[in-house]
Structure 1
Amino acid sequence: MPVSRNRGNNCRKKGEMIKSLDKFLQEIDEGDWAVISSATDYPENWVIPDHSHDKHQLLYATEGVMVVHSAQNQWTVPPHRGFWMPSGHVHSLRCVGPLKMRSVFVRADSFPNFPNLPTETKAVSISPLLSELIKASVSLKPPYAEDSRDARIMHLILDELALLPALPLSLPQPGDPRIRQICLALQQDPGDASTVAHWSERLGLDQKTIQRLFRRETGMTFGQWRQQARLLLALERIALGEKIIDVALALGYDSPSAFTSMFKKQFGKTPSHFFK
């Protein structure tokens, strides 16, 4: 039947893509070059499971949204922003919609003259200069002749990597199972208006204990964590084309203006300007 053939073709394509990705990641880890860029496109809802690299990595989304997960945190990275992942950090990635990803890999011990490369994982702003440098570099292959255009492009990228400004796009993930239960519920139903008092009754925990655990596990209060979770989910939904009014109401805001005000307060721009 046609449906079965299509399903079989999709499974084969997925299998081929997984093998290609595994080979690519192996080549990245085993390569003896100092710095290289790559271009990879992923389909909607593609998931790259837990892995790590022996190299530092800058992920740059030219189109689409990626959600990066680690054991203690997650980051929502909209288009035209990036994510810095130092070597050795285990992470996974989920594509929200089709994703066009450009990456820069840097061997950690290759550049003693660049001691200022970031040491912490973070979502980052990508300057127009760095964006164009990355796009130009994906077609370049090492080794780069000394004092050549290729070498100068890669060195300029390293200069820009040392200046990456962090963006407030992270959502700390608690380790305590009681608080994790609350956080999972809020992410599954972001419009849930339950208060700390409600959760206190459900879990049999004192309200002060819940707030203390939230601060200890996430560095945020219950209200701050829920607000951040809602805003980061809003980034995903808006990127997929949902209307702001629908997103605002689904996330529990009383009106689009209330949502827009909170969004601008957190990210510095209104939702419509954020994606431009």
Structure 2
Amino acid sequence: MGFFSPEDGGHALDLTAAEFRDSPVFGVTVRYPAGHVVPLHTHAYGHLIYADRGLLRVEAESGQWLVPPTAAVWLRPNVRHRLVVSVALQAHGLFVRKDVCARLPVVDCVVSVGGLLRELIIALTQSDSQAMSSKRIRLLGELVLEELQAQPVLPLHLPWPADNAGSPIQHVCQTLLDNPSDTSTAVEWANRLAMGDKTFHRRFMQSTGMTFGKWRQQLRLTSSLTLLMQGIPITQVALASGYDSHSAYTTAFSKQFGQPPSLFSAKV
């Protein structure tokens, strides 16, 4: 992921040690404890970030993603990002040469990770690269690229305001991120910011590309994944996420992700 695990000192990882110049893709694996944060950094490569257990939060200028073990984040080359680890996990980072990134998504996004892609990622990041032939590494990399092109984009993206840091809309979003159960209405936020409610809605849409209500719901649902995967009962997760009941939360969650929260709760 660009950094060793904290046990190794947390220093920046020298990717040239893992790079194979005749292969389009190479990778590394890093273990992170709960509460660890990898600071903002960039790579000259396209970057696929996958955690085969736990839940990983990826923050970039283009948005934020909460990533369960059924998905991975794709970032274009040179995108500044940081990693926030809420529960202990093992992260896999694939790096794609810039000259072949045109074959992959042109925006930062979350893609589904099925059985084949998962095994390919693990093969490229966990195997002893010195024992693998250059041909095998190259072929595995080519197959990863083919699989990535075929994966659907998942609705785990939370757009972040494009305004300057400290703007009123960024303040609203950061407050809700810190406390997803906050029930303040758009009118209440507008009053606090000394602006009309129509102005607030317009500025929020301009800054995030989403309405206030939809953005807050997406925040609540994506944030709730962290609680689910910590084994917290669904009813408690629903209340902590701003929902009045288990059923209301389950309905909204299933509509957003196409699966009930119970499936994610099982993946602790």
Please indicate the TM-score interval, normalised by the length of the shorter structure. Answer: 0.7 to 0.9
Q: Which residue of the partner structure matches residue 144 of structure 2?
A: 157
| More moved, 155-164 vs 229-238 | 155-164
Amino acid at match of 2:57: V
| Deviation for aligned residue 1:145 | 4.9
Amino acid at match of 2:187: A
Map Cα deviations across residues 158-188 of structure 1 (whole Å, 9 max, x no partner). Answer: 2112223211111111144111121122222
Which of 111, 114, 130 is the equivalent residue of 2:117?
A: 130
| Deviation for aligned residue 1:45 | 1.3
Q: Provide the secondary structure at the position in 1 that maps to 2:255.
A: helix
Question: Is this contact kept in 2: 1:63–1:80, CA < 8 A?
Answer: no
Whole-Å separation in 2 of the counterparts to 1:39 and 1:100: 7
Paired residues for 1:255-270 under 5 Å:
255-270=245-260
Whole-Å separation in 1 of the counterparts to 2:162 and 2:190: 18
Shift in CA distance, 270/58, structure 1 to aligned 2, threshold 3 Å:
same
Q: Which residue of the partner structure matches residue 161 of structure 2?
A: 174
Give me the identity figure in percent: 39
Q: What stretches of structure 2 of length at least 5 have no aligned partner? A: none
| Deviation for aligned residue 1:78 | 1.1
Q: Which residue of the partner structure matches residue 42 of structure 1?
A: 32
Residue 17 (str. 1) matches residue 9 (str. 2): yes
Q: Provide the secondary structure at the position in 2 that maps to 1:39.
A: strand
Larger Rg: 1
Q: What stretches of structure 1 of length at least 5 have no aligned partner? A: 1-12
Whole-Å separation in 2 of the counterparts to 1:161 and 1:230: 28
Q: How many residues align?
A: 257
Q: Provide the secondary structure at the position in 2 that maps to 1:237.
A: helix
Question: Is this contact kept in 1: 2:229–2:264, CA < 8 A?
Answer: no
Paired residues for 1:1-276 under 5 Å:
14=6, 16-19=8-11, 22-25=12-15, 27=17, 32=21, 34=23, 35-109=25-99, 111=100, 115-138=102-125, 139=127, 141=129, 145=133, 148-176=135-163, 177-274=167-264
What is the TM-score with the length of structure 1 in the denominator? 0.85
What is the TM-score with the length of structure 2 in the denominator? 0.87
**CA RMSD in angstroms, aligned pairs only:** 2.3
Whole-Å separation in 2 of the counterparts to 1:27 and 1:89: 22
